[in-house]
Structures are given as structure tokens and as C-alpha cells.
């Protein structure tokens, strides 16, 4: 069965620190990849997505992610985090030509001023 792994469960950073959150998936075929963010008390919102083309994708709020096919990875990065980035971050995978959308367990990010 397809699965999505997020290795960092809880990350604590100071403002201006750099961020990288890991995401690996287990499906070997063509996939669509997503990162979603959930701010406290809110629903999920899309940060960025990868379907094809340039493996380095840029999203909102200065986030970016790199798809490395050989490593089955889609890691999320931000050069300098802000207090307002405090949230939970979810990686998700949709297997191409299916409608099944599977999420990872999430990474809780806390940013301190």
C-alpha cells in the first residue's frame, strides 16, 4: 500500500533559522506531491504542489520543495522562518491516474521570536 512518511514530528526553531522538513513516499509510479499547512484551529491550506517539470517548486510565503525521484522524497524548505510559520505541515501524495490522496502524519513546527 502507498504510504507517506514524515520523519520530523516536532520541530522547534528560532525566528530567522532555516527549515527543512522531510517527506518520503513509498509508491514507485508517477505521483503528484503536495505540502499543506494547518494553522492552529484552521483547516488545511495548500502551500505548494508538484506535478511535473522542474523538480524545485516554489509555493506561498517563501516556501519551496524539491522532488528527488531517486530518493522518493519531497522535502519542504524555507531559508528563514517567521513566528507566523508556527503550524502543522503535512505532505501528501496522489498516485497518478487515481483519486486516492494520502497524507503523512504531519510535522508540528514551533517558531519562537
Partner 1 sequence: NAGVTQTPKFQVLKTGQSMTLQCAQDMNHNSMYWYRQDPGMGLRLIYYSASEGTTDKGEVPNGYNVSRLNRREFSLRLESAAPSQTSVYFCASSDTSSGNTEAFFGQGTRLTVV
Residue 83 beta carbon to partner 1: minimum distance, rounded to whole angstroms: 23
Kindly tell me which of 28 and 41 has the beta carbon lying closer to partner 1: 41
Residue 88 beta carbon to partner 1: minimum distance, rounded to whole angstroms: 9
Q: Which residues bind partner 1 (CB under 8 A)?
A: 1, 6, 9, 32, 34, 42-46, 49, 51, 90, 92, 94, 99-106
Residue 44 beta carbon to partner 1: minimum distance, rounded to whole angstroms: 5
The x, y and z cell numbers of residue 9, run together, are 514530528
**DSSP letters along 47-83, please?**
EEEE-SS-SEEE-GGG-EEEEEGGGTEEEEEESS--G
- Taking the chain, what is the end-to-end CA distance rounded to the nearest angstrom? 41
Kindly tell me which of 17 and 102 has the beta carbon lying closer to partner 1: 102
Report CA dihedral (10, 1, 93, 20) to the nearest 10 degrees. 30
Amino acid at each position: 500500500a502507498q504510504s507517506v512518511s514524515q520523519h520530523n514530528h516536532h520541530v522547534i526553531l528560532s525566528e530567522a533559522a532555516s527549515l527543512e522538513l522531510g517527506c518520503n513516499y513509498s509508491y514507485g509510479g508517477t505521483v503528484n506531491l503536495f505540502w499543506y499547512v494547518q494553522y492552529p484551529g484552521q483547516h488545511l491550506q495548500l502551500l505548494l504542489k508538484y506535478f511535473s517539470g522542474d523538480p524545485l517548486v516554489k509555493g506561498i510565503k517563501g516556501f519551496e520543495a524539491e522532488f528527488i525521484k531517486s530518493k522518493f522524497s519531497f522535502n519542504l524548505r524555507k531559508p528563514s522562518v517567521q513566528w507566523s510559520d508556527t503550524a502543522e505541515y503535512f505532505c501528501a501524495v496522489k498516485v497518478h491516474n487515481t483519486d486516492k490522496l494520502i497524507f503523512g502524519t504531519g510535522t508540528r513546527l514551533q517558531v519562537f521570536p
